[in-house]
């Protein structure tokens, strides 16, 4: 019998929809060699496919339906209570489409990361692919960042770029970006679980040093380069 590592970081993932990013995290963390474990998946939509993905992987799930709460404060308090039952070391937002209260963000300061489909600080919020097309951008991409009180505005940990072709639609571009999301997010979660990644005074530290700029996922490679 393999002895269980009791210091293995405990990960809670929050999602709202399909959960393709959740799936890549499940696939990565299922390996014995991964230095962390998804202990629960939470959703704000009872019918989100992400819940099914988690159940299929034997991961505990919880739902806090935002439509049953009449304020963000009440929703976030209920969500926080569910999350805390699992005593997470890391909270991973994977397509979790709710604006969080300041109190909630402070509660998980330095422990909560998010993936956003743009090269932040460009295009916070929604419809990022269409906005990149409308602006005539040649390059688009994805960012993983620590969550702070600024919506999609916390310090960026890592990014990956994709080229925009003149014929791209928002859907095609979204698909290209999602491929990069699926490569990048498990890498960043691994760094956090290995203790290589921290946020101190709202600055990302990597291997004990402040990060002067986000790490980049190199083109045609799974190895991040800076």
**Catalytic (active-site) positions:** 116
Residue 207 CB, nearest approach to ligand GAR (Å): 26
Nearer to ligand GAR, 63 or 205 (CB): 63
Nearer to ligand GAR, 47 or 85 (CB): 47
Residue 208 CB, nearest approach to ligand GAR (Å): 29
Interacting residue ranges for ligand GAR, rule: CB under 6 A: 15, 17-21, 94-95, 115-117, 152, 178, 181
Nearer to ligand GAR, 33 or 183 (CB): 183
Closest CB to ligand GAR: residue number: 95
Helix, strand or coil for residue 136?
coil
Nearest to 21 by CA among 112, 124, 96: 96
Residue 23 CB, nearest approach to ligand GAR (Å): 8
Residue 13 CB, nearest approach to ligand GAR (Å): 10
Contacts of 220-226 with CB under 8 Å at 24 or more apart are 222/183, 222/187, 224/158, 224/184, 224/187
Nearer to ligand GAR, 150 or 200 (CB): 150
User: Angle formed by the axes of helices 20-29 and 170-193, to 10°?
Assistant: 30
Nearest to 37 by CA among 17, 64, 59, 52: 59
Q: How far apart are CA 208 and CA 54, in angstroms?
A: 33
Q: How far apart are CA 161 and CA 180, in angstroms?
A: 8
Nearest to 123 by CA among 140, 106, 136: 140
């Amino acid at each position: 019998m393999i002895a269980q590592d009791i210091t293995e970081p405990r990960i809670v993932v929050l999602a709202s929809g399909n959960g393709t990013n959740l799936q890549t995290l499940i696939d990565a963390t299922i390996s014995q060699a991964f230095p962390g474990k998804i202990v629960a998946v939470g959703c704000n939509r009872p019918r989100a496919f992400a819940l099914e993905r988690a159940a299929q992987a034997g991961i505990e799930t919880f739902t806090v339906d935002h439509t049953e709460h009449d304020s963000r404060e009440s929703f976030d308090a209920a969500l926080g209570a569910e999350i805390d039952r699992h005593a997470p070391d890391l909270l991973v937002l994977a397509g979790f489409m709710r604006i969080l209260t300041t109190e909630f963000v402070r509660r998980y300061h330095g422990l909560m990361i998010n993936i956003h489909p743009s090269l932040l600080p460009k295009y916070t919020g929604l419809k990022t692919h269409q906005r990149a097309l409308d602006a005539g951008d040649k390059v688009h991409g994805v960012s993983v960042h620590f969550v702070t009180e600024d919506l999609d505005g916390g310090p960026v940990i890592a990014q990956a770029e994709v080229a925009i072709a003149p014929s791209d639609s928002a859907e095609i571009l979204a698909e290209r970006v999602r491929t990069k999301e699926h490569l990048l997010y498990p890498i960043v979660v691994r760094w956090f679980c290995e203790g290589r990644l921290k946020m101190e005074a709202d600055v990302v530290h990597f291997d004990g040093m402040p990060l002067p700029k986000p790490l980049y996922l190199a083109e045609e490679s799974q190895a991040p380069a800076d």
